Amino acid sequence: MQEKVKDGQSSPFQVVGTRPVRPDGADKVTGRAKFGADLALPGQLVGKVLRSPHPHARIRSIDASAALALPGVKAVVTRDDFLEQSSEFIPAGEMMINYRDVVRNVMAREKVLYEGHAVAAVAATSAVIAKEALRLIKVDYEVLPHVIDVVEAMRPDAPVLHEDMRTAGLEPAPTTASNVAKQLEIGHGDIAAGFKEADVVIERAFTTKPVHQGYIEPHACVASVSEDGQADVWVSTQGHWVVRAHCARLLGWDIGKVRVTAAEIGGGFGGKTVVYLEPIALALSKKARRPVKMVMTREEVFKASGPTSGAHVRVKIGAKQDGRIVAAEAELKYQAGAFAGSPVQPGAMCAYAPYDIANVKVVGYDVVTNRPKVAAYRAPGGPISEFAVESVIDEIAGKIGIDPIELRLKNAAKQGTKAAYGPKFGPIGMVETLEAAKSHAHWRSPLGKHQGRGVASGFWFNIGGETSVSLGLNEDGTLSLTAGTPDIGGLRASLCMMAAEELGVPLDKIRVQIGDTGQLGYNFLTGGSRSTFSSGMATVEAARDVMKEACRRAAKLWELPDDAVEYSNGGVRPAGPNAGKHAPMSLKEIAGIAGKTGGPIVGYARINAAGAAPSLATHIADVEVDPETGKVSVIRYTAIQDAGRAIHPSYVEGQYQGGVAQGIGWALNEEYIYGDDGKLQNPGFLDYRVPVASDLPMIDTVIVEVPNPRHPYGVRGVGETPIVPPMAAIANAVANATGVRFTDLPMSPPRVLKALDEARAKGTAKV
């Protein structure tokens, strides 16, 4: 597709780059917007899930007869209501899924594999009756030993979750069962030779805890199946076509029989890319012949959805005295939760991606444990490996005595750099974000007592994928834009802006909606920072389709060849040597003659969006450490990131700020805490503490624009990269403030205080 501009300096745009009020704004500030739990259908039942109290147990039997006999109970479903699936890994955005596991995660079959694992579900006329019915379901469990920690799960004597699991990626293939689902390796060069060249080598081990996406809206859906098998689902999801595919597969229904409508979604961050309740609600509705609404409690959200992996990571980096990194190695052990499929692969791929390093080796392990199956979480895998790498790079800079930004500049990946995971980069903004950080006032501002400053960079790939958009020209010249990627953070605004820019019509003449699965061709989900990129590309193509058709209609009217009419300034006019003398027509006038010149004018785009480009960031964090309590406060923060092109800068800034806030939570507070009994001890927002307004400073942003040449407006995905740098930026700042290097997250007050006390005893603490 033709690129609109090549330089990032001057804006030739009327709409792109401005900050209009979003089209879904009024509904969202008045309470009118309908989210997952806001739909009520006549006659709807309440669906509730019975969940395992054990972290690991074999299900001997399930007896639901007493529950079914309870007045008001209309249906019960168990493992028997979902189709067995063969083992087959298929790509699901940035993650892989295996339907054999998906069906088992939705409803336990042979075993329960974590506390909170779904075992049965009921639909009843009220929530009170549904809860009573759950109490009446008798499940006979054979309790098994469990394993929660990733390193313990890798031991040969660990309790085995899946008797048929053999570690993939090993030669020869192992013959005994293991909790290591996969071992992988990426890299290039000669790592041993690289380390021999190094003047400075630093090796450190890191741990991170599982953290939850923490969307404020719990999973929610309403399903309705009619007597002829036609099914409708209303759901809060990042991808309704994906929900449709999963549900049809698990239930053995035709995809075409299922229509899924995306509700407004109250946050996802990757966690709403998979199915939990939807197939259950459909199965219940089919049995009960009534609509079934299901909403998770917050406790269920914590225990049975998400989170992302906790991990053990070892990083070893060698550099020359001049700051050139000559060898880089990492070993990543990521928890997948109960089923294979942690984000260790992307974690391995992006560990060293911001840098041009000749010798790289990263080994990864995907390890199952008796925890909820991990789901994608904003740049899945990246924040963990890059936290470790960016921490060691900071130490290398300190040891050599070189400014940490200079060290990164010296090693920064650029256009043409061959990444350790394979490809050669096109234009990328690593150097630009580093230069922007170096020249930012924040970098040179003075620090006070007990304060420290850290810097870290981050990388995320971004993806494209299958996308459909339609753009209808209405009779009065207004336009109806329908996209299929759920809008989580301002997508509709960006799409309208690109359409208005392209067509040369006022923004308020375009109304945009997210269509249901019956209204458009397939759309892959909103994830991988793809929606503004992919649906934006499709919107531009659909707009060009409308423009071309408008020209054709005018040519017909004017009895000119098609190429003697051109689109310009929101209308058509004769052009070229063959053009006659005709007054230009506005799009509104074309709309008025559409019926007489060939019928309705609708632009379509059905694409597999290629050309997604990575977004790089550099963050600066200032912290203050309370030497008496160990509390770390972030007192100033600047996030600098390459957006390619910011369509609506406010929502790009919002992505940066939101990712930083989640990263600060990951760095300082958030963690899943398990008891020896294998049960989650903090399944609520009181004890799983996400950052609140009083925890955070204003978060400054700098939008760097290195346009992506493969997008008509230069767009890169921006949503995920912002969560990558904060953990290392903060750890580096804490090290700067205290003289103590923290390698275990979260840096919560008790941990920090303990480390400070130890350092004080040794005389190495600065506070």
Partner 1 sequence: MAKHHITATVNGDPVEFLCEPQETLLDALRDQLNLTGTKEGCSTGDCGACSVTVNDRLVCSCLMLAVEADGKSINTIEGMAQGDELHPLQQKFLEHAALQCGICTPGFLVAAKALLDRKPDPSEIEVRYWLAGNLCRCTGYDKIVRAVLDAAQQMRGA
Alpha-carbon distance of 117 to 104, in angstroms, equals 9
Beta strands in 489-529 (DSSP E): 510-514
Q: Phi-psi category of 252—alpha, beta or left, where left has phi over 0 and alpha has psi -120 to 50? A: left
Q: Based on the number of CB atoms within 10 Å of its own CB, is 219 exposed (0-12), middle (13-18) or buried (19 or more)?
A: buried
Contact status: 593 vs partner 1 (CB under 8 A): no
Q: Rule CB under 8 A: is residue 423 a binding residue for partner 1?
A: no
User: Contact with partner 1 (CB under 8 A): which of 144, 200, 557, 690?
Assistant: 690
Per CB under 8 A, the list member of 1, 5, 38, 287 interacting with partner 1 is 38
Q: Is 28 in the site for partner 1 (CB under 8 A)?
A: yes
Pick the stretch among 22-30, 221-229, 385-393, 394-402 that binds partner 1 (CB under 8 A): 22-30
Query: Is residue 166 a contact partner of residue 178, using CB atoms and an 8 Å limit?
Result: yes
What CA–CA distance (Å, rounded) separates 679 from 146? 10
- Binding residues for partner 1 restricted to 324-363, rule: CB under 8 A: none
CB 209 within 8 A of CB 670: yes
Q: In terms of CB distance, is 417 or 655 closer to partner 1? A: 655
User: Among 380, 464, 603, 658, which residue interacts with partner 1 (rule: CB under 8 A)?
Assistant: 658
For partner 1, what does the binding mask look like between residues 163 and 202, x meaning CB under 8 A? ----------------------------------------
What the block records as the tokens of 85 is: 């699936």
Closest to partner 1 by CB, 404 vs 654, is 654
Smallest distance, Å, CB 281 to partner 1?
Answer: 18
Does the CA dihedral 391-394-400-405 come out positive or negative? positive
Q: Interacting stretch for partner 1, rule CB under 8 A, among 222-230, 253-261, 520-528, 652-660? A: 652-660
Provide the residue type at 412 as one letter. Answer: A
> Does residue 216 touch partner 1 according to CB under 8 A?
yes
Quick check: 31 binds partner 1 (CB under 8 A)? Answer: yes
Indicate whether 33 belongs to the interface with partner 1 (CB under 8 A).
Answer: yes
> Which positions ≥6 away from 450 have C-beta within 8 Å?
624, 625, 626, 627, 737, 767
User: Do the Cβ atoms of 759 and 740 come closer than 8 Å?
Assistant: yes
Q: Shortest distance, CB of residue 659 to partner 1, whole angstroms?
A: 8
| CA atoms of 270 and 249, how far apart (whole Å) | 21
d(CA 644, CA 512) in angstroms, rounded, equals 24
Output the smallest distance, CB 26 to partner 1, in A: 7
Quick one: 128 or 205, whose CB is closer to partner 1? 128
Q: Which helix (H) or strand (E) holds 21?
A: none
C-beta of residue 366 within 8 angstroms of C-beta of residue 341: yes
Shortest Å distance, C-beta 549 to partner 1 = 34
Measure the CA–CA gap between 524 and 712, rounded to whole angstroms.
Answer: 20
Query: Cα–Cα distance between 652 and 649 in angstroms, integer?
Result: 5
Task: Give yes or no for residue 40 binding partner 1 (CB under 8 A).
Answer: yes
Tokens of 756: 């400070």
Per-residue exposure over 373-399, b if at least 16 CB sit within 10 Å of its own CB, e if not: bbbbbbbbbbbbbbbbbbbbbbbbbbe
Q: Applying CB under 8 A, does 32 fall inside the site for partner 1? A: yes
Helix (H, G, I), strand (E, B) or coil at 70: coil
Per-residue interface string for the shown chain with partner 1, residues 263-292, x marking contact by CB under 8 A: -xxxxxx-----------------------
- For 243, other C-beta atoms within 10 Å of its C-beta total 27
Stretch that binds partner 1, among 21-29, 96-104, 501-509, 510-518 (CB under 8 A): 21-29
> From the list 3, 14, 26, 423, which residue makes contact with partner 1 (rule: CB under 8 A)?
26
Q: Is 685 in the site for partner 1 (CB under 8 A)?
A: yes
- Does 5 interact with partner 1 (rule: CB under 8 A)? no
Q: How far is the CB of 735 from partner 1 (least distance, A)?
A: 24
Q: Which is nearer to partner 1, 25 or 521 (CB)?
A: 25
- Least distance from C-beta 654 to partner 1, angstroms? 6
Residue ranges in 695-714 that form contacts with partner 1 under rule CB under 8 A: 695-696, 698-699
Site string for partner 1, 454-493 (x = CB under 8 A): ----------------------------------xxx---
Helix (H, G, I), strand (E, B) or coil at 410: helix
Residue 673 makes contact with partner 1 by CB under 8 A: no
How many residues would you count in the chain? 767
101 binds partner 1 (CB under 8 A): no
Least gap, CB of 128 to partner 1 (angstroms): 7
Return the number of the residue (268 or 343) whose C-beta is nearest partner 1.
268
| Using rule CB under 8 A, residue 514 touches partner 1 | no
Tell me which of 2, 10, 30, 176 binds partner 1, using CB under 8 A. Answer: 30
Q: How far apart, in whole angstroms, are the C-alpha atoms of residue 530 and residue 524?
A: 9
- Per DSSP bridges, beta strands 451-460 and 200-208 are unpaired
Cα distances from 370 to residues 51, 52, 148, 300, 377, in angstroms, run 14, 12, 5, 16, 19
Task: Provide, rounded to whole angstroms, the least separation between the CB of residue 611 and partner 1.
Answer: 26
The amino acid occupying position 717 is G
Question: In which order are the strands placed within the sheet that holds 325-337?
Answer: 180-188, 360-368, 325-337, 311-319, 200-208
> Sign of torsion, CA 96 98 103 108?
negative
User: Which residue bears the tokens 């993939």?
Assistant: 168
Report phi then psi at 740, rounded to 5. -110, 130
Residue 308 makes contact with partner 1 by CB under 8 A: no
Helix (H, G, I), strand (E, B) or coil at 564: helix
Which among 347, 309, 421 is positioned nearest to 94, based on CA atoms? 347
The residue from 421, 651, 666, 713 that contacts partner 1 (CB under 8 A) is: 651
Contact 702, 605 (CB under 8 A): no
Q: Which is nearer to partner 1, 477 or 725 (CB)?
A: 725
Q: Which of the ranges 107-115, 306-314, 658-666, 703-711 carries the binding residues for partner 1, by CB under 8 A?
A: 658-666
Query: In terms of CB distance, is 268 or 372 closer to partner 1?
Result: 268
Stretch that binds partner 1, among 23-31, 138-146, 412-420, 666-674 (CB under 8 A): 23-31
Which of 63-71, 332-340, 525-533, 684-692 is the region at the interface with partner 1 (rule: CB under 8 A)?
684-692
724 binds partner 1 (CB under 8 A): no
Closer Cβ to partner 1, 33 or 447, answer by number: 33
* Residue number, 269 or 461, with CB nearest to partner 1: 269
Please report whether residue 295 would count as binding partner 1 according to CB under 8 A: yes
Q: Write out the binding residues for partner 1, residues 555-584 only, by CB under 8 A.
A: none
> In this structure, are residues 308 and 385 in contact, taking their beta carbons and an 8 Å threshold?
no
- Cβ contact 233:285 at 8 Å: no
Measured CA to CA, the distance from residue 94 to residue 534 in angstroms comes to 15
Residue 47 interacts with partner 1 (CB under 8 A): yes or no = no
CB of 411 to partner 1, least distance (A): 29
- Interacting residue with partner 1 among 1, 13, 18, 35 (CB under 8 A): 35
Minimum CB distance to partner 1, residue 140 (Å):
31
Alpha-carbon distance 534 to 607, whole Å?
Answer: 8
Closest to partner 1 by CB, 545 vs 624, is 624
- In the complex, the residues that contact partner 1 under the rule CB under 8 A are 19, 21-22, 24-26, 28-35, 37-38, 40, 128, 213-218, 264-269, 295, 297-298, 488-490, 648, 650-651, 653-654, 657-662, 684-686, 690-696, 698-699
